[in-house]
Amino acid sequence: FQIDKAVLIVKADGHGSRQMCRVNKFGFPRTTAKSTEKKVKGFQTGDIVKAVVTSGKKVGTYTGRVAVRKSGSFNIKTVDKIVQGISWKYCRLLHASDGYSYNTTC
């Protein structure tokens, strides 16, 4: 007989980078400095969210890792695709970012 057990896979992603701006091949800055704010509308990149979009062309329910933008328009990385341009108003926080990503196998 066979017993099916789920295995939790944990991967260390970190909390971001200390690099303040991108540099060119000579080491000179080529972009402006990053914002000092890590959270946008209460969300942070790496959080696990559930977005229930009720109007527009991206109607549906999406659950996954969020990448925030200052504008409030987020990207959500689900299991099979990346959905771009989801408003923060549709998102609900399921798990706050702790520097790790989680996955299960069956």
Structure tokens at 75: 């990207």
Q: How confident is the model at residue 86 (pLDDT cuts 50, 70, 90)?
A: very high
**What span, in angstroms and rounded, lies between the C-alpha atoms of 22 and 105?**
37
Identify the CA nearest to 62 among candidates 72, 47, 77, 73.
77
Task: For the domain made up of 9-103, give the CATH fold.
Answer: SH3 type barrels. (2.30.30)
**What span, in angstroms and rounded, lies between the C-alpha atoms of 42 and 56?**
23
Can you give the pLDDT at residue 88? 94
Instruction: Please check the confidence at residue 22 and state whether its pLDDT lies above 80.
Output: yes
Do residues 87 and 74 touch, judged by C-beta distance below 8 A?
yes
- Record the pTM: 0.73
In 3-state terms, what secondary structure has residue 88?
A: helix
Residue spans per domain, the chain? 9-103
**What span, in angstroms and rounded, lies between the C-alpha atoms of 92 and 48?**
9
